Structure formats: structure tokens, C-alpha cells
Amino acid sequence: MQTEERITTELVREFVMAAHGNLEKVQELLAESPSLLHASYNWGGSDWESALGASAHVGRKDIALYLLEKGARMDIFAAAMLGELEVVQAILVAQPEALHASGPHGISLLQHARMGGEESKRVYDYLAVRS
């Protein structure tokens, strides 16, 4: 029988904050508390953010890829930042309204693609034409 790991709101906040730019801290916290991988923090006003969401909107590919490797669930915002055009297209075919969805802090899908730099230029161009 697996015991349920208890994580505090402050630990989730620390993990999400680290995912904005500190890969080593993300690795350390995740090793100590694996349940953090799927946790989200509410910054207020229903502004929920996961570690993957944090890394995606600031363009930290290294952190996003690490989290995905550990089992985080890919979403359209991370896919856009990582340049995963086929994933973005598939989601938009299934859910066209996602084109105008906002990620954490109200950041647009197009801005997530912009943060991916040259590797996500095809995604950015694809989204820009449709926005």
C-alpha cells in the first residue's frame, strides 16, 4: 500500500517559483517530494500555475524538458514554447478555442511560442496567422 505524501502550500509555491529559473532547486525539491510534479499554486484570482507552466512562460526549456522527462503532463503552452508544432496543431484541431486561451498570469499562447526563441518560430508563425 502506498502512503499519501503531504505537501504544503508553501512547498508548492517554492517549487513553482524555482521552475521560473532554477533547475538545480527544481531537481532538489522534486527528489525530496515527488508529488510536486503535478502540483499547482494559486497566485490569487484563480491564477493557477504548475512548475511546467512556470518554465514554459519564461522560456526555460531545460526545466520544462526535465519536468516532462519526470512525467509532467504536456500542455499546449509548454508545447508552444518547446516548438512542438504537431502537438499544438493537434490540440487546436480538437479544441479550437484553445488558440485564445490564457496560461498562467494571463500569458497568451502566442507569447509562450515567442519565449521558445528560434526553436519555436514555426509554432509562433502558425499561431500568429491564426490569432
Domains and CATH numbers, the chain: 9-130 (1.25.40)
User: Per-residue pLDDT for the chain (131 aa), expressed as one digit of tens each?
Assistant: 455 578 999 999 999 999 999 999 999 999 999 999 999 999 999 999 999 999 999 999 999 999 999 999 999 999 999 999 999 999 999 999 999 999 999 999 999 999 999 999 999 999 999 98
The pTM of this model reads: 0.93
95: left (phi over 0), alpha (psi -120 to 50) or beta: beta
CA triplet 57, 62, 67: central angle to 5 degrees? 80
Three-class secondary structure assignment of the chain: CCCCCCCCHHHHHHHHHHCCCCHHHHHHHHHHCHHHHHCEEECCCCCEEEHHHHHHHCCCHHHHHHHHHCCCCCCHHHHHHHCCHHHHHHHHHHCHHHHHCECHHHCEHHHHHHHCHHHHHHHHHHHHHHC
| pLDDT confidence of residue 1 | 44
Q: How many Å from the N-terminal Cα to the C-terminal Cα in the chain?
A: 49
Name residue, grid cell 509532467.
Answer: 72
